[in-house]
Copies of this chain bind each other. A is one copy, B any other.
Amino acid sequence: MEKAKIDWPHMHPINGVRIGAARAGIKKPGRLDVLIFEIAKGASVAGVFTQNAFCAAPVMVAKEHLSLGDIRYLLINSGNANACTGERGLIDARATCTAVGDLGGVSAPQVLPFSTGVIGEFLPVDKIIGAVPEAINALDKDGWESAARAIMTTDTCPKGASLQFEYQGKTLSVSGVAKGAGMIRPNMATMLSFVATDAVVAQSVLDTILNIAVNRSFNRITIDGDTSTNDACILIASGEAELPPIEQAEGELFEKLCDAVVVVMQQLARAIVRDGEGATKFVSIEVCGGFDSDECLKIGYSVAHSPLVKTALYASDANWGRIVAAIGYAGIRNIDVTKIKVWLDDVLVVDRGARYAGYSDDAGTAVVKRPDFTIKIELGRGRASETVWTSDLSHDYVTINAEYRT
């Protein structure tokens, strides 16, 4: 992966959503680190949050505010996670919401706070509040790229995705940004994503769309529960499109919108993996022929998380023995290894649980030298299938994470 080449997409503006970023000097001076989303009155906002028992103060406050509805602003800072900061962390997060509410003419509970960065240090509230006027002055419907930049931590490039689709002669848009990095799992590098559409969507339907899309995107690069203290994904439906509201989780418009949100979130999720700390490869792990989805995911993650598999991929070593060992310790009951097949792209490597007679190391090596390839695992015991995405484990991963705080 050529990290230097940032292929920043054209981002369709979303009527009813304006974005402004500012420099508060939270961790480093001179970089965008405070971000505000302004959301039109009448919009719907849905959110999913980390399941980590140590969820950060802003997550607690955001959940509380979201449950009250009528959200008008998002306030995001990078450089400090406001996590493991106890009671003071909650007070600090609320103080920043109050500051945005005061300037925006809304109440504090109409503002959702988000933070990403170092854990265990108190939020520099004064710096953030000091930068809020600059961010509000910068509000613009074309602020998506600065949004993507302002939320970056160890990310090496901003991540955005955007598309449009037609319905009854009208054009609808979906745009979003994300930040991630980390070795994806344990995905303790916070994942944040903010996605918006101009569609008109009832709250309960928006919740459904968000759950479907997260399960088919971000939840395929991390595991439920294995999340950082600050993870969050927000979906805004501004309601500015001139179309009737989507009131039910069915019908053509619902399906089209749901598909569009899935595509945008999958593009963002893939971008997070591609930019994994030190990553040099993008690897899809496709597990099929499983008894159920759960066992396919267990095996997919077992392979995806094995440090021995990941270091072999980094070395472009088609070390399939490490792949089968990771399948073997995934904890699936009564698995019959003599039915298992493994392919590297279209090269059959393992047949009936052992090295395929026609396999050559050269053919396998040619695949794993590619920057983007698939490990396909056939279990031969059912019809379920799942795909997870991961990266390799390189020297740079160790360097980045050994030096992050210094």
Do B186 and A308 have beta carbons less than 8 Å apart?
yes
Do B120 and A337 have beta carbons less than 8 Å apart?
no
Give the shortest distance, in Å, between A17 (CB) and chain B (any CB): 31
A354: chain B residues at CB < 8 Å are: 84-86, 89, 120
Do A119 and B321 have beta carbons less than 8 Å apart?
yes
Instruction: Report Cα–Cα, A405/B86, bound state, in Å.
Output: 49
A332: chain B residues at CB < 8 Å are: 53
Is A283 part of the binding interface, using a Cβ–Cβ cutoff of 8 Å? no
Copies in the complex: 2
Do A405 and B355 have beta carbons less than 8 Å apart?
no
Do B329 and A225 have beta carbons less than 8 Å apart?
yes
Instruction: Report Cα–Cα, A225/B89, bound state, in Å.
Output: 40
Is A401 part of the binding interface, using a Cβ–Cβ cutoff of 8 Å? yes
Do A314 and B86 have beta carbons less than 8 Å apart?
no
Q: Contacting chain B: which of A104-112, A140-148, A248-256, A391-399?
A: A391-399
Q: Contacting chain B: which of A167-175, A226-234, A380-388?
A: A226-234
Do A52 and B329 have beta carbons less than 8 Å apart?
yes
Do B401 and A394 have beta carbons less than 8 Å apart?
no
Do B119 and A317 have beta carbons less than 8 Å apart?
no
Do A118 and B321 have beta carbons less than 8 Å apart?
yes
Q: Which residue of B lies closest to A86 (CB)?
A: B354
A120: chain B residues at CB < 8 Å are: 320-321, 324, 354-355
Is A335 part of the binding interface, using a Cβ–Cβ cutoff of 8 Å? yes
Do A186 and B85 have beta carbons less than 8 Å apart?
no
- In chain A, positions 251-292 with a C-beta closer than 8 Å to chain B are none
Chain A interface secondary structure, helix, strand, loop or mixed? Answer: loop
Is A326 part of the binding interface, using a Cβ–Cβ cutoff of 8 Å? yes
Q: Which of B81, B229, B329, B350 contacts A227 (CB 8 A)?
A: B329
Interface string of A217-257 (1 = CB under 8 A from B): 00000000111110000000000000000000000000000
Give the shortest distance, in Å, between A136 (CB) and chain B (any CB): 31
Do B54 and A353 have beta carbons less than 8 Å apart?
yes
Size range of the interface on A?
A: 35 or more
A189: chain B residues at CB < 8 Å are: 308
Give the shortest distance, in Å, between A181 (CB) and chain B (any CB): 11
Instruction: Report Cα–Cα, A319/B399, bound state, in Å.
Output: 15
A2: chain B residues at CB < 8 Å are: none
Whether A53 contacts B402 in the complex (CB less than 8 A), given A118-B321, A353-B84, comes out as no
Do B403 and A54 have beta carbons less than 8 Å apart?
no
Interface string of A39-54 (1 = CB under 8 A from B): 0000000000001111
A306: chain B residues at CB < 8 Å are: 186, 188
A399: chain B residues at CB < 8 Å are: 395
A83: chain B residues at CB < 8 Å are: 321, 325
Is A331 part of the binding interface, using a Cβ–Cβ cutoff of 8 Å? yes
A403: chain B residues at CB < 8 Å are: 315
Is A327 part of the binding interface, using a Cβ–Cβ cutoff of 8 Å? yes
Instruction: Report Cα–Cα, A114/B404, bound state, in Å.
Output: 43
Instruction: Report Cα–Cα, A330/B225, bound state, in Å.
Output: 8
Do A328 and B54 have beta carbons less than 8 Å apart?
yes
A326: chain B residues at CB < 8 Å are: 186, 188
Chain A to chain B: the 6 pairs with minimum beta-carbon distance, closest first:
A119-B321, A86-B354, A54-B328, A315-B402, A311-B401, A52-B328
